[in-house]
Structure 1
């Protein structure tokens, strides 16, 4: 299915900032399933905005949400200085995710009973925290965001969870992947973990014209595969059916 897409910028408060999101809507007037899209630690870029538009083209309402009050942090030190404390604060991550989710649910085109959350890096960690908070989601997908939560909270996840990671990712190390898998098993979650051989951290993200931390690199073939895997997850758990 391919539909005409319309977009608009939305602003909303979260984390003491005025966040700027990118909302993409499919053609029509009826309610549609919806997807929340979280960005890498730098913040939303054209990557996430294009993902939202691609999903709208498939019939979803999609919102690429913000992390840094409308800023894109292309200085790795500044990005880490903001994201590392955030990743260590589950309730703060949940607040950012809930604020964006409220915007998505307030959109009249959104079917509130059919919502998924996907994300990359920090945005993927936020998607997972929404699941651990017990939010009613149909699916969670995370690339490079294999954080572990507080003991016992994975049992609150109500939907299938898909995760993708590069085998050579020094940030999402083998030990981190093992800890994540143990948490999912302990919570009796319907989970999948795909390890993309030879890929580094942020392998889905095309090359950028600013400095990147060590261990970060684009892998075009696996980037395409990870996107297809996310689309398969949505097709399984959040199918677009009927006219809009």
Structure 2
């Protein structure tokens, strides 16, 4: 396991919201590829911090971002939904906040700004897909049980990233019909993409606390260790494929 460095970084969204991200990176003499990590609707909690640390241990800089301000988190679905819906009230809030995070990540001295990617979980899946749809200069995007819907479908030639969607077969919050609509959106925009349907997996399959959250809130979530491993393996393959350094002579 490589030695990693971590720090919190404050940044500001165009709407004036004070955001606090968690940054992790391997100790390296040269700048490394970097991944923006967008959290579930619970906010910038310990789960997304651990995901950032894991990425750093795999050799990537990572930035667990704050979408609500002041690194707010909750374990109550009703509060999470309220905060999430606030980001939908203005059409540009999500893209502006995640773009501010991407710019902050790209500016860190440990980061090779030419090799950026983004991953997201649940609500964070929508966040990183909307970032890609906006034409951001990122090379790879992966979503885990992500919200795939959008009010602004991808335009042909605008998305620069290869997209990987990891979706639970038994997800009742994002249906297989939603997945099919997303595929059609990507095909129409001629985006390189892959959708992997993970067997016997519910919404939240990547989070070991999903069953606890489900019981406490009466929502249909479930952790699935096999689906989590398969999803992470596919994600790391994507990152290795799209973010590895290119030889100087090419």
Q: TM-score, normalised by structure 2?
A: 0.89
CA distance in 2, matches of 1:92, 1:155: 23
- Structure 1 residue ranges without an equivalent (≥5): none
Please tell me whether residue 196 in structure 1 is matched to residue 195 in structure 2: no
Equivalent residue, structure 2, for 1:64: 64
Deviation at 1:16, TM superposition (A): 4.0
Moved more, 205-214 or 174-183: 205-214
CA distance in 2, matches of 1:232, 1:240: 14
Equivalent residue, structure 2, for 1:12: 11
Equivalent residue, structure 1, for 2:188: 186
Instruction: Tell me: CA distance 1:37–1:213, structure 2 relative to 1, closer, same or farther (3 Å).
Output: farther
CA distance in 2, matches of 1:156, 1:213: 39
Equivalent residue, structure 1, for 2:164: 162
Per-residue CA deviations over 1:98-157 (Å, capped at 9, x if unaligned) read 111111011011111110011111111111111111111110111122423324536411
Equivalent residue, structure 2, for 1:217: 222
Select which of 216, 238, 241 maps to 2:243.
Answer: 238
Equivalent residue, structure 2, for 1:121: 122
For CA contacts below 8 A with separation 6 or more, give which structure has more relative contact order.
1
Equivalent residue, structure 2, for 1:153: 155
Instruction: Tell me: CA distance 1:64–1:151, structure 2 relative to 1, closer, same or farther (3 Å).
Output: closer
Deviation at 1:228, TM superposition (A): 1.2
CA distance in 1, matches of 2:92, 2:34: 23
Instruction: Tell me: CA distance 1:60–1:122, structure 2 relative to 1, closer, same or farther (3 Å).
Output: same
Structure 1 stretches of 4+ moved >6 Å:
none
CA contact (8 A) 1:132 1:156 kept: yes
- Structure 2 residue ranges without an equivalent (≥5): none
Deviation at 1:195, TM superposition (A): 0.7
Q: TM-score, normalised by structure 1?
A: 0.91
CA contact (8 A) 2:123 2:147 kept: no
Instruction: Tell me: CA distance 1:34–1:67, structure 2 relative to 1, closer, same or farther (3 Å).
Output: same
Moved more, 67-76 or 186-195: 67-76
Per-residue CA deviations over 1:79-98 (Å, capped at 9, x if unaligned) read 11221353575521101111
Equivalent residue, structure 1, for 2:231: 226
CA contact (8 A) 1:147 1:176 kept: yes
Number of equivalent positions: 241
CA distance in 1, matches of 2:154, 2:126: 17
Please tell me whether residue 97 in structure 1 is matched to residue 98 in structure 2: yes
Per-residue CA deviations over 1:51-73 (Å, capped at 9, x if unaligned) read 21121122211111112221112
CA distance in 2, matches of 1:225, 1:213: 27
CA distance in 1, matches of 2:246, 2:160: 22
CA RMSD of aligned residues (A): 2.0
